[in-house]
Structures are given as C-alpha cells and as structure tokens.
Amino acid sequence: MSKPVMHIDRPVTDVERWTGDRVEVVGPDDARLGEAAAAIVGGIRWDGPRYDLAPDLRVLARTGIGVDAVDIDEATRRGVLVVNTPDGPTVSTAEHTMALLFTVAKTIGPHQDRLRRATGGYAIASTATELDGLTIGLLAYGRIARRVARIAAGVGMRVLVCDPYLDPGGVDADDPAAPDVVDFDQLLARSDVLSLHCPLTDETERLLDRQAFARCKPGVIFLNAARGGLVDHDALVEALDAGRVRAAGLDVTDPEPLDPDHTLLHRENVVVTPHIASSTEVGRDRMLSMAIEQALQVLDGERPANLVNPDALAG
C-alpha cells in the first residue's frame, strides 16, 4: 500500500525525525501537490485556486498561530481540516518583542552608528531610556503577551492588559504581579510602551490609526510583532514625526517587506525586522514538529489538538 503524501512548502532536512516512514514527503515545489493528503504551510496564501491544486487534501497544518493567509471557509467547504501551532512561536516571539524594546529604548542603533563614525561625545549624546518603573501595555493577552508580561515584570515594568475576550479567570487578581486589566482608551493613555499581540481580523484591521495614536501617552514606545495590518503606517509615521511616538520596534509591516526606500527603514528611532520573530532554530523546529504531528493525527483518523475549523469534520 502506498504511503500518504505530505507536502511541505519549504526545504527541510531530517524531516524523518518527525514523520518516520509514515508518509512520503514532497515539496517545496508544487509538482506533486495534487497528490498531497496533508500540507505543511507557512505564509503562502491558500484560497480556492490553490485548493484546486490539491484535490485530495485532508489537512492543512499552519506552522504558526495566524491563519489570515488561509481561506478557512473554503477549506471547511471542501472538508479540509485546518490546524495551527499556537504554542510553537510563543517563546521566540516574546523574546524578540523584548529585544525590539531594548534595542529602541537603549538606542542601540544610533550608539553603534556614532561609534562607527567616531563622533565622540557618546555619553552626552545618549537618549536611552530606563525601563524599570515604566508601564507596558499589552493589546491582547494570549500566550505570547503573557510571556512578554513575565519578562517585562522581571525588569521592573508595570503591566497593563486590554483584551475584550479575556476569560474572567485569566488574570489572578490575588497575584501581586498580576497585570491590571483596562479598556482600550486607558491602555493608550497610560502605557509608556505599547505592544500589539492581537490577531488580524476585520475588527482589528488598522486599529492603530491616527485617532488611536493621538490618544496615546506622549512619547510612547510602540512595538508590533503580531501583524502589520493592525497598524496604519502613515499614521505611525505622522506620530513619529510629531514626537507622540518616541520610537518603534516592528517585526511586521504592511506590506511585507517594505519598499527599501520606505521612511520607516531609515529612521534612528525605528527598528524593523523582516517578520522573523518566531524564526529561531528552536522555534522553527518546534512549529514544524507540531504541525507535522497534527497532520499525522488527521491522517490516522484522530482529531488534532488545535483544530481551527471543527465544522469541516462534517466533510
């Protein structure tokens, strides 16, 4: 009996450590996508025409949290189970978020540039910020944000959280280190550092617009390692120009990547990385192994742990 075909959309070495001999692995080219019963996917757009290329597909496993590049309704209509790996990128993305914060708060880029140019007067030129005692506001309080909160608290920061979907038991009010839960306006007004952690939906698209930045605490440091579409980047540039936003650390933008001439790539007080927050060696392996494990569960007739579209089970 032939093995099921699993398509992986990127080059992977040693994939047998996760698949064993249970499937035949193909890809990353699409030459045999039409035979695939399972697909392990990154950021490639999956819509009707792409599903047409894989008529035997049973499971689409996303290596990451976000499924905004996947047409879930189309998958459900075709009976394709969509899974993601919400625990996979948590540690790496949270650490990267804090790395962005430290980089812009401590003005690492300008310091390095002055040293390379041998300008002298380094200490007097420094505009670095001390984080101890500042307030970091987290928009949404999922796995990554909770990890960020722990790290931030460890360096002496106060933590605010805004999440309309937060379970009432999601924050332990008796814990002296528990974050304060506030509404969106309070989050903007009180945060010295504002960090985005919500998914991109119709409700959250361009949530950080001119009006939102105008309501931010003057001099806020802005961080986004979630989705670029959460932010109106023209509004962010205006807020930076006006000094309302002191500095920004971005791992995601809209579009991705930015044009090389985009102003955000040429500012001393802005650091932009190319959507690689989760892409540590450990993080990549963790997400890939979780995606493959769930795809194998589906091929074995089991319900996967992180099923995005349970209605597809009817198909």
Using one digit for the tens of pLDDT, what is the confidence trace for 181-221?
Answer: 999 999 999 999 999 999 999 999 999 999 999 999 999 99
CATH of domain 5-88+280-314: 3.40.50.720
Tens of pLDDT along the chain (315 residues) come to: 689 999 999 999 889 999 999 999 999 999 999 999 999 998 889 999 999 999 999 999 999 888 989 999 999 999 999 999 998 999 999 999 999 999 999 999 989 999 999 999 989 888 999 999 999 999 999 999 999 999 999 999 999 999 988 865 566 655 656 789 999 999 999 999 999 999 999 999 999 999 999 999 999 999 999 999 999 999 999 999 999 999 999 999 999 999 999 999 999 999 999 999 998 999 999 999 999 999 999 999 999 999 999 999 986
- By three-state DSSP, how is residue 256 classified? coil
**54-105 pLDDT, tens per residue?**
999 999 999 988 898 999 999 999 999 999 999 899 999 999 999 999 999 9
Q: Which CATH class is domain 90-272?
A: alpha beta
Boundaries of every domain in the chain = 5-88+280-314, 90-272
Amino acid at the residue 199: P
Active-site residues: which are they?
A: 227, 256, 275
- For 289, the token pair is 């192994």
Q: For residues 85 and 218, give the distance between their C-alpha atoms in angstroms, rounded to a whole number.
A: 37
Asked if the domains at 5-88+280-314 and 90-272 fall in one CATH topology, the answer is: yes
Q: Are 71 and 93 in contact (CB under 8 A)?
A: no
**DSSP bridge partners of 162:** 139
pTM of the entire predicted model: 0.87
Which ranges in the chain belong to alpha helices (H)? 16-19, 48-52, 72-77, 90-105, 108-116, 122-125, 143-154, 184-190, 210-214, 233-242, 281-299
CA 138 to CA 199: how far, in whole Å? Answer: 13
